[in-house]
């Protein structure tokens, strides 16, 4: 499912690339948190998706929970609309999920537009580590707190467990997602994925990073002016 808020042309690109991501039948659910649904409705009509109009802006986690409500499938996908799926990428995630029955959440390698890998699989930070990363990450990228926080991300070829995975693209085992009652909607946007990974781990599930699966982050509404700082 995609949770969107006044999306642009990237939503159509997302839906088109999803058709090549898996050989299985995939239902696309678009949850629209905004108040103008023209783009979402057009993409839903074009690609046979199901459009869910939220009663208001529920935030990312709240929108994802709304889209997942009543789902009977064994797997759920939550993904940003500004992603392009690489061919077979969803199948690679599903295969890893079948091989690791205690994997509650699985995430792909998240590529930047220049082909570099974004550190989307991270350890749960301590207070000291979180503060060190927040303060020094941009000024001193190789600082020890950031290196520990992004531990082992450089091992691109190997599937491995992580403390949490980026909510930009997650394959979720429906059983695990239901057991922890989905996203905590008190997180309107940002950190809901950290919290979900933590609660899945506490419930006995693992967060599995699967770099054999790859998606590209193209950025939302390319061509739109940059927002003020």
Question: What 3-state DSSP class applies to 171?
Answer: strand
Return the pLDDT at 129.
Answer: 54
Asked if the model's pLDDT at residue 128 lies above 80, the reply is: no
Residue 143 per-residue DSSP state: -
Return the pLDDT at 37.
Answer: 96
DSSP states of 50-63 as a string? EEEE-SS--HHHHH
Fold of 2-217: Spore Coat Polysaccharide Biosynthesis Protein SpsA; Chain A (3.90.550)
Confidence (pTM): 0.85
Asked if the model's pLDDT at residue 136 lies above 70, the reply is: no
Residue 50 CA: distances (Å) to CA of 31, 75, 76 = 9, 17, 14
Q: Which tokens go with 11?
A: 């939503």
Q: Where in the chain are the domains?
A: 2-217
Return the pLDDT at 151.
Answer: 53
pLDDT in tens, 5-44: 999 999 999 999 999 999 999 999 999 999 999 999 999 9
For all residues of the chain together, what is the average pLDDT? 88
**CA atoms within 13 Å, Cβ hemisphere of 58:** 20
Across the chain, where does the E strand assignment appear?
2-4, 29-32, 50-53, 75-79, 83-85, 103-111, 117-118, 121-122, 160-162, 164-165, 169-173, 206-217
Residue 72 CA: distances (Å) to CA of 27, 49, 69, 173 = 12, 17, 9, 11
Asked if the model's pLDDT at residue 67 lies above 70, the reply is: yes
């Amino acid at each position: 499912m995609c949770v969107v808020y006044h999306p642009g042309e990237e939503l159509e690109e997302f839906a088109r690339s999803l058709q090549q991501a898996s050989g299985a039948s995939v239902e696309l659910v678009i949850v629209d948190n905004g108040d103008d649904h023209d783009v979402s409705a057009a993409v839903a009509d074009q690609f046979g998706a199901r459009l869910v109009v939220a009663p208001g802006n529920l935030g990312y986690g709240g929108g994802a929970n709304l889209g997942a409500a009543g789902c009977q499938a064994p797997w759920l996908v939550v993904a940003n609309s500004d992603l392009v799926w690489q061919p077979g990428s969803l199948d690679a995630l599903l295969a890893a999920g079948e091989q690791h029955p205690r994997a509650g959440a699985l995430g792909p390698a998240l590529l930047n537009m220049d082909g570099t890998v974004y550190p989307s699989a991270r350890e749960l930070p301590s207070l000291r580590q979180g503060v060190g990363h927040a303060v020094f990450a941009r000024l001193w990228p190789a600082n020890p707190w950031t290196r520990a926080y992004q531990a082992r991300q450089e091992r691109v070829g190997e599937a491995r467990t992580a403390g949490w995975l980026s909510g930009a693209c997650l394959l979720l085992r429906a059983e695990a997602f239901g057991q922890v009652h989905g996203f905590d909607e008190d997180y309107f946007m940002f950190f809901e994925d950290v919290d979900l990974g933590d609660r899945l781990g506490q419930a006995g599930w693992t967060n599995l990073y699967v770099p054999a699966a790859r998606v590209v982050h193209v950025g939302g509404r390319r061509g739109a002016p940059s927002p003020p700082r």
